[in-house]
Structure 1
Amino acid sequence: MRRIAVFASGSGTNFEAIATACEQGAIPAEVALMVCDKPGARVVERAAEHGVEAFVFAPKEYASKADFEREIVRRLDAAGVELVCLAGYMRIIGDVLLEAYGGRIVNIHPSLLPAFRGAHAIEQALEYGVKVFGVTIHYVDATLDGGRIIAQRAFEYDGGDIEELEPMIHAVEYPLYIETINKLLKKK
């Protein structure tokens, strides 16, 4: 069985979609580890509900980013993880993780990159007035949302309501991430 890790910082809806897809056989893998940098995040409960081992940490308890990334790498290695999937992990990946897992870390972003990089992409796109929204899955490198693009999917939306738009983005994110993880695992 192939082994993946999912990193998240918040509610974990993308984690839920990936874990469920693995359990149902839609992804021929298991989520071997969930990594979260926010001890009170809902994704921690979701991991427990799916019986997924979780490494939950508070970055401030470590002397440096390199220190907590070394611990993450140790846990990824111990779990036999082949692919790391960022799913709302709101922390920039540093050199330690990139050196250990470079080319095996992917991220999902709620815009059609290279437009609207960073944490507030949906709000930025709405403020700009775009009419075509979308999702991008890309390899993670040392740049902010700048790694090589793997997949994108777009849809039209002519409204201005974030509460209406976010579920539309999720409806695109979940299947696209599952399809992409499958393709990546088949390549390896």
Structure 2
Amino acid sequence: MYNMSLVSPDINNYQMTSGESLKLGIMASGSGSNFEAVIQAIESGKLNAQIQVLIYNNPDAYAAVRAKKWNIPVVLLNHREFESREQLDHQIVETLKEHDVELVIMAGWMRLVTQVLIDGFPDRIINIHPSLLPSFKGVNAVEQALASGVKITGCTVHLVCLEMDSGKIIMQSAVPILEDDTSESLHARIQQQEHRILPDAIALAFRRNIAFSGHRLSR
């Protein structure tokens, strides 16, 4: 057993009220376990939102299978078919807007963003990263933590900006590193916390206007 720390002064009051349904667009590249954690939070009534679309860039991503199981629209935008990151992001923005998305959630999206995407949804893109930012940015964050010798790592939900893993922090959860941890065992425990805090962070960002630059979207 271990203790967890959530960075939020009002974590017990994050729940959204019945009148605050939020339209989400999810972006994923892999298995989609965080994506399904959001779905389950919605289905349980913990998060008052609806998922408008899943965008995935890897044709083999299991996230698409999860989406189809829940009858969520899916759009494949294979990054290999675009001449530049900007061209891909233009298509992402167009797809999100076609599906009337209000808030974008990167749930294991393994592509660097460009200004095109940021300008398309300013302060309305959230990412989850497997470390306590600002430590261990980028890929292999779990392996970086193990190699560094630190005793605590975790996960962070933050706003997306042009600089990788550097946007405003919304919520974090701490996970201790055990003496016999491998990258697989540590990643598994971090992922448990990702599944727990991502839905909370979405609700908290909306409730506190963190993701909307101080103004609420018109309904």
Shorter-chain TM-score tier: over 0.9
Greater Cα radius of gyration, structure 1 or 2: 2
Alignment correspondent of 1:45: 65
> In structure 1, what is the equivalent of residue 142 of structure 2?
122
Larger RCO, structures 1/2 (Cα 8 Å, 6+ apart):
2
Deviations 1:132-187 (A, max 9, x none): 11111111000010111111111222233122212211121111111111112223
AA matched with 1:183: L
Normalising to structure 1: TM-score of the pair?
A: 0.95
TM-score between the two structures when normalised by the length of structure 2: 0.82
| Aligned positions, number | 188
2:182 corresponds to which of 137, 155, 161:
161
Partner SS for 1:133: strand
Q: Measure, in 2, the Cα distance between the counterparts of 1:70 and 1:157.
A: 40
Matches within 5 A, 1:19-168: 19-159=39-179, 160-168=181-189
Q: 1: CA distance between counterparts of 2:126 and 2:56?
A: 16
- Could you tell me which runs of 5 or more consecutive residues in structure 1 were left unpaired when the two chains were aligned: none
**Larger relative helix fraction:** 1
Identity %: 36
* Residue identity opposite 1:177 in structure 2: L
Report which stretch shifted further, 63-72 or 169-178. Answer: 63-72
Q: Report if the CA contact (8 A) 1:23-1:30 is conserved.
A: no
Q: In the alignment, which of 155, 180, 184 is matched to residue 201 of structure 2?
A: 180
CA RMSD of aligned residues (A): 1.2
